[in-house]
Amino acid sequence: MIRYAAALSSACWLFQEKLEQQIKDAALAPQHRIYIDTGTDEHVGSVGPKAYMESVFTTAKVLQQTKADTRFHVQENGMHEEASWGERFSEAVMYLFEGGSR
């Protein structure tokens, strides 16, 4: 079973309802750590920053209602690109492997 997961710049909007249902149906427990983030300037195709952030925020709220140890992070001016992911990658790794909730 996977205990740690990082979802950087997740395109949750692609399958929002199905993703949320899968989270609710999962047997997530306190030993599971999930890091999810987004940037304030994320956009892909016709999905702009506001819709992108709302989608990830909604998914994070569903995750936070489970028993999993979850962290949600918003990167100011973060974009849907490798450079932005690189800026927050170490935060995700530190959270997942060095202590969980803080």
pLDDT tens-digit readout, 48-71 = 999 999 999 999 999 999 999 999
Residue 22 placed within a domain: no
pLDDT at residue number 2: 86
89, two tokens: 């990658």
Residue 92 placed within a domain: yes
Residue 89 placed within a domain: yes
Answer for the pair 78, 42: CB distance below 8 angstroms, yes or no: yes
Residue 19 placed within a domain: no
Q: Which residues of the chain have pLDDT under 70?
A: 100-102
Which residue range forms the structural domain that includes residue 87? 4-13+30-97
pTM of the prediction? 0.90
> What is the count of structural domains for the chain?
1
Residue 21 placed within a domain: no
pLDDT at residue number 9: 93
Residue 50 placed within a domain: yes
5, two tokens: 């997961």
